[in-house]
Structure formats: C-alpha cells, structure tokens
Amino acid sequence: MTFYDDIYPFYPQQRTSFIFNTSLLTVILVFLVLAVSFLLILPGIRGKSRILWTFRILTSLFIGLVLVALNFTSDWAEASLKANTTYKSFSNVVVNADVGLHVGLYGINITLRGDPVMQLNETIDYNEMFAWSSDIDGEYAEALEKGLPNPILYIAEKFTFHNPCGLIYQYRYSGRYASATLWTAFCCWLVANILFSMPVILYAGYMMAATATLIFISMASFSTIYSLPQCRFTIGTGSFQTDFSHSFWLALATGLLCAVIGIAVILLDILIPEKMREAFSVGLDSADEDVYFGEGYLNTNFLEGASLDAVTAKGPSKESQQIFTSTVCLSYPTNQSF
C-alpha cells in the first residue's frame, strides 16, 4: 500500500474533487457586468427619476439573477452530521468528520470534511458532484474506482437506480419540473421588462404576477420529494434526513417580491394611470402640448417671393435677417416653381 502513496492497490486513480459550479459562476459574472454597465450611465440621468431608475434596474437584475442561478445551486435541500465513521473500504480505520448532503435541481453534492482536516497523514476534504443528466450508476462506478471514502459512496449509492429507496426517481423528476418552471418564469420576467418600457404598464404587472406564480409552482414541484416516505441516511451512530435549505427560501422570497411588484403595478395602474406612465417615462404624448421655442432668426433670403404675416421684426438689418416671436404664415404664388 505504501507503493501507491497510501492509496489502496485496488484504487488506481487519485481523487479529483468537485470545487465550484462554473455555470453558476458564469451566471453571476454576467449579471454583475450588466449591473455595472447600467450604473455607469447613471450620472447621465437627471432629477428624481435617477433614484427610481436605479431601484427598477437593480431590482429587476436581482430577480433575473435569482431565476437563473437557482437552476445551478446545490442547496435546495441539505442535511449534515458529525460522525465517527470508517474512512476507506476494507479498513477498520475510523475518522471524525462532518458529512453533508446538498441537493440541487440537477444533481447532488456530497461533502466530507475531517475534524481536524489532517488525519491519517491525509487531507480529508471532499466535495463530490453527482448529476442527474448523466448516468448516475456510471458515476457511482467511477467513484468506486477512485476509492472515495465510505460515507460518500454510501450516500451516492442511495441515489442509484437499483437502490430500493428509489430516491433518484423522487429527486430527479422533481428537480426537472422545478427547473423547467423556473426557466418559464425567467421568460415571463424578460417579457415584463420589455412591457415596462412600453405604454402597457398594466400588462407588465400581469407578467410579474405570472413570474411569481411560476416560482411558487417550481417550489411546489420540488416539494414533492417529501410526498413519499423518506429514506434515512445512517453513518456511524448517527442518521439524518434532508430538509429545505437556502435556495428554496431564496426562491420563496423572490416569488413574494415578484408578487408584490406585480400586484402593486396592477393596482396603481388602475387607480393612477397617469402617474404610473410618468414614473416609468412612457406614454407621454408631446404632440398635443404647446411648445414655445423662444426667439429665433429667420433669413428672408430663402423666402424670396413669399409673403410673411404676423411677423414681429426687430434689429437694424431687415434685409438680411428678421427676428420672429410668433407664428410665420407663408403664402406662395401659384406660379412659383421650386
């Protein structure tokens, strides 16, 4: 065994642990760039509308970020415990470690962190990802070949197709429907943002309410994992079951925020539609307003052969230019050619 640097001979590969979800990192960076880009043009907005514009943009970007990021997070449900457990297969060596299970819409993360981290002359710090989209039985077989610790293999085996617990069917299909509903909510959010820039504020409120409804439906879909009797995970002398975690409650808070915005926009558009259009800077028809341009200069050399009515002339040189302050009425002869 020392020939393989403390890796058992029947484990030919050293582990490569899952560190961070790159898709989630990409989503966060994209929305941060959008937020910074909008903030750069903030000084160009004058008056009180700057505050309202900033609030609208940041709130909208936050909702969009959450809707996309929730598809890639791994903490919709989770559980953990401290346990004294065997470390490697075919060995009675026991380690003290924190074991965690983190459930997302696309898979699970299983963590194992030693307490302390350095034990048995080895760093015990694992974070392994098992995705629903791939062949999870094949991933479990690869985990066996890598020689992952017993607690990780035990939990991963519970989510294989041949396991009697049947957790894979509960979690995978619930996650799929929840993810599909979240993407639909994201589409509704996009449509709502387009409608907010048009003189149809009422329909934008309807789309925000639809976004909130779809978020709640996705939560209800994920909650179906608890509709069947739960399979308990027993490690060492302790056991645990998963429960709702940060992403689930973040989805709930975002859904409530969308519902409040949608209902408020609908009510305010019905009660005070003019104020709402003024607040969103849409639907302002300037054609019916009287516009006063002040004094201007009129060069009479371009009006040869035309008669000027109701012109107030000022200045010493009437031949070269005239200053007008009222409406200029032009009448051209019928035989004038242009």
| Integer Cα distance of 244 and 224 in angstroms | 12
Give the model confidence (pLDDT) of 269-295 as tens digits. 888 888 877 777 665 544 444 444 556
- Which of 110, 118, 191, 123 has the alpha carbon at shortest distance from 151? 110
Residues 276, 173, single domain; the answer is yes
Q: Tell me which of 165, 197, 212 is where a domain ends.
A: 165
> Is residue 107 domain-shared with residue 255, that is, in the same domain?
no
Q: Is residue 199 part of a domain?
A: yes
**Residues in contact with 33: Cβ distance below 8 Å, sequence separation at least 6, in sequence order:** none
> In the 8-state DSSP scheme, what is residue 165?
T
- Indicate the pTM of the whole model: 0.74
The pLDDT of residue 322 is above 80 = no
* Cβ(114)–Cβ(96) below 8 Å: yes
**pLDDT digits 0-9 by tens, 84-112:** 888 887 778 888 889 999 999 988 899 98
* Maximum pairwise Cα distance, the chain: 113
Pair (64, 135) in one structural domain: no
Do 53 and 188 have their domain in common?
Answer: yes
pLDDT on residue 92: 80
Does 118 share its domain with 160? yes
| pLDDT for res 300 | 61
Tell me the mean pLDDT in the region 165-189: 91
pLDDT at 337 over 50: no
Which structural domain range is residue 174 located in?
44-74+169-230+245-282
Whether 183 and 271 share a structural domain:
yes
pLDDT tens profile 19-59: 557 788 888 898 889 888 888 887 777 666 677 788 888 89
Does residue 146 belong to any structural domain of this protein? yes
Asked if residue 52 and residue 109 are part of one domain, the reply reads no
- State the pLDDT at residue 330: 47
Asked if residue 30 belongs to a domain, the reply is no
Whether the per-residue pLDDT at 6 is higher than 60: the answer is no
What Å distances lie between residue 297 and 48, 147, 317, 325, 332, CA to CA? Answer: 35, 88, 12, 9, 20
Of 150, 165, 180, the last residue of a domain is: 165
Indicate the number of domains in the chain: 2
Residues 51 and 84 in one domain: no
Q: Is residue 86 part of a domain?
A: yes
